[in-house]
Structure 1
Amino acid sequence: MCRYAVVTGADKGIGLEIVQPLASLGIVVVLTARNETGGRDAITKLHQLCLSIDTDIKVSRYFAQINNAGASCVEVDEESLQTMNVDPATWMQLSCKVDKTLFQGVITETYMKADECLNTNYYGVKRVTMALLPLLQLSSAKVRIVNLSSLRGELKVYSRNSAA
């Protein structure tokens, strides 16, 4: 029985790192990327690792219609962060460790950013899942969907009592 895995965001980082062991185990991996160039670059990297790769660009073009790349829910004034000696690339890790009032006026939440955040981080994941379900339902093997994300796309379950 042939086993399949679909890895979104597989053109770099964690996604690409996940493809390598799956492919080396003989699992057929459908690699998806944000764009065709990224997908082709990932395939080239995998070829360099001597993994057997069949290229089917039609699949990656189909999935490229869905954006599930994590979106930030806030607007950040990077210049103000720099005047505070905070690296704009790593402010998120720092914001979890310090008093939130430190960033007042520097980081703002708007309706538009919240809408973008929900559309990408929640509905994007949902759209990818819905697009993959017909493919997954063809399998006679156990099927599972694993969502791996950065802090931006983290999915959490909140109860009525724990909601902020």
Structure 2
Amino acid sequence: MEGAIPKPSEKRVALVTGGNRGMGFEICRQLASSGLAVVLTARDERRGAEAAGRLRGLGLPDVVFHQLDIAEPASAARLVDFVRNKFGKLDVLVNNAGIMGVTMEVGDEAAVKEIMRSGKDQNEIAEWLKQRTTQNTQQGEECLKINYHGTKNVTEALLPLVQSSSDGRIVNVTSAFGLLRFFSGEELRQELSSIGTLTKQRLDELSALFVEDLRRGELGRRGWPADRVYAAYQASKALVCAYTRVLARENAGLRVNCVHPGYVETEMNCNTGNLTAAEGASVSVAVALAEQGGVTGAYFDRMEIASFV
């Protein structure tokens, strides 16, 4: 009947952003293998549909695709309508989509394989990659737009559906690069740590201040991360961590956490990680499927609860 309210799905329902490849694809596969219905989302419609088809081909029939550009409110609104009409609720939201916001020039695949076989440790490989990485102001702004504002945009849009679940979970994929130890400004560190008073509006303001300082070439003025190549990525992930904690404070009935999956082999780092996509994905999946009534507002470094500093 037109206008009827859809009956909530009897199965638990999960939605994963950036699910068409790498760790996002593995998160979808592992959640579906655990018995959840999964909405795989991706910006590229063809690649997203193909990824969902591959999962169904692996014997996971309850995987569907819906297009999503996390930075576009209209795209998120269409996704909300789809989930509401098809499932009536959302039990698990995994915000995995993100970008580094840099340009990496490492040569061909053979060059990467050579450095991986060189016997260098992970820190040395990371430094080798950094030396071949650049970022301009536009890329830095895009990094904040996608990683912080995009995550917040999708979460706020889907929040009522997660609240409709009897045990709603939100997992935000972040990075150890977003820890507050990388910020030189004590006032900035204190503000991002003051979760009792911090607001979403203030986080938006801080994002705008970072972009302003980035444009002026004055990141040290307020004490942002000093690494000019990765500063935008670090700031975006720190804001995601703070947003996670604010969201947990405001939604006591939900489990809202963020995870650092480790240095995972993905296209974002030219496949120089020391963990497979499956190993990285297992962290988000474990936090998403943890026993009811567990921790909220926490930061997981792999499977261990750790400090945001």
TM-score, normalised with respect to structure 1 = 0.65
| SS class of match (1:145) | strand
- TM-fit CA distance, 1:75: 5.0
Cα gap change, 1:136/1:155 in structure 2, threshold over 3 Å: closer, same or farther?
Answer: farther
Determine which of 94, 118, 123 is the counterpart of 2:149.
Answer: 123
The match for 1:137 is: 163
Distance 1:119 1:7 in 2: 19
- TM-fit CA distance, 1:108: 4.8
Distance 1:54 1:75 in 2: 33
The percentage of aligned residue pairs carrying the same residue is: 39
CA contact (8 A) 1:43 1:53 kept: no
Distance 2:133 2:100 in 1: 11
Find out whether 1:21 has 2:36 as its counterpart. no
| SS class of match (1:72) | coil
- TM-fit CA distance, 1:46: 1.3
Instruction: Name whichever of 109-118 and 123-132 sits farther off.
Output: 109-118
Instruction: Name whichever of 66-75 and 121-130 sits farther off.
Output: 66-75
Q: Which amino acid aligns with 2:150?
A: G
Cα gap change, 1:36/1:3 in structure 2, threshold over 3 Å: closer, same or farther?
Answer: same
CA contact (8 A) 2:16 2:28 kept: yes
The match for 1:39 is: 48
Pairs within 5 Å for 1:13-162: 13-53=22-62, 55=64, 60-61=66-67, 64-67=68-71, 69-74=97-102, 78=105, 96-97=126-127, 103=131, 108-141=134-167, 143-148=168-173, 156-158=178-180, 160-161=185-186
Distance 1:36 1:73 in 2: 22
- TM-fit CA distance, 1:13: 1.4
Find out whether 1:6 has 2:15 as its counterpart. yes
- TM-fit CA distance, 1:24: 2.4
- TM-fit CA distance, 1:53: 2.8
Q: Structure 1, unaligned stretches of length 5 or more?
A: none
Which has a greater percent of strand?
Answer: 2
Cα gap change, 1:110/1:54 in structure 2, threshold over 3 Å: closer, same or farther?
Answer: closer
CA contact (8 A) 1:46 1:53 kept: no
Q: Which amino acid aligns with 2:143?
A: C
What is the total number of aligned residue pairs between the two structures? 143
CA contact (8 A) 1:6 1:30 kept: yes
Cα gap change, 1:52/1:122 in structure 2, threshold over 3 Å: closer, same or farther?
Answer: same
CA displacement 1:63-104 (0-9 Å, x = unmatched): x2324853334456x4xx65xxx76xx9xx767436x7xx4x
Distance 1:108 1:15 in 2: 25
CA displacement 1:90-145 (0-9 Å, x = unmatched): 9xx767436x7xx4xx755433222112111211111121122122111112x221
- TM-fit CA distance, 1:41: 0.8
Q: Structure 2, unaligned stretches of length 5 or more?
A: 1-9, 72-95, 116-122, 190-222, 226-309
**Deviating 4+ runs (over 6 angstroms):** none
Cα gap change, 1:17/1:110 in structure 2, threshold over 3 Å: closer, same or farther?
Answer: closer
